[in-house]
Chain A
């Protein structure tokens, strides 16, 4: 069975550029979560969706971050403009009940 799919796996960009991260959840899962992980702050929840509707975006750091889920099989996390402090690993996870299954992550470096 396919797990959560994320792309790209690695992204290196310059400060000020727009970055779009993509996620395909496990088929049938109705919850989707976006996380950010850094050494300093650990794993932080940014936003989560239920049935494509954003439920809680209180973890989104600022207006430069936005997330969408246009359908049950696709979500994006966009950073515009990107800054060096956005460098982190961004994980997408999906769930049907409480156990969450993570994608391989996107390692973002902003120079």
Chain B
């Protein structure tokens, strides 16, 4: 079983819609969680860290469910510029990060 699993999508949504997707992880000892976004042919960029109590950053909301071992990302009021691949990332017990394969989101006009 992969350490980090994501639905690859694609999620095709109209501008202004809300889109949400999850990521599951297998290592219960995972300590830190992040969402990165990656645009086509670009580098991954940190979108937000995910805290135990859940957190928001503008239109983006991240949740962590340790009992069920998943994290989620919700994007409200989608913009065309939100079209990207969203990578679920976790850290276990050192400084290495484990990356999921990504969920592709396409926002259409």
Chain A contacts to B: CB under 8 angstroms: 31, 33, 42-43, 45, 48, 50, 55-56, 91, 95, 98-105
Contacts and interface: CB of A to CB of B under 8 A. Distances in A.
Instruction: Place the interface of chain B in its size category.
Output: 10 to 19
A77 B49 CA distance: 29
A101 B100 CA distance: 17
Contacts of B45: 102
Where chain A touches its partner, the secondary structure class is strand
Contacts of A105: 42-43
Given A91-B43, A99-B34, A104-B42, A42 B99 contact: yes
A43 B87 contact: yes
Contact of A104 (B32, B34, B43, B96): B43
B95 A103 contact: no
Contacts of B43: 91, 102-105
A38 to B, nearest CB: 11
Contacts of A91: 43-44
Given A42-B101, A99-B34, A50 B42 contact: no
A64 to B, nearest CB: 22
Nearest to B44: A102
A50 B95 CA distance: 9
Given A98-B91, A99-B34, A104-B43, A43 B49 contact: no
A4 to B, nearest CB: 8
A98 B49 CA distance: 10
B97 interface: yes
Contact of B95 (A48, A102, A104): A48
Given A42-B99, A42-B101, A43-B87, 4 more contacts: A55-B94, A99-B34, A103-B43, A104-B43
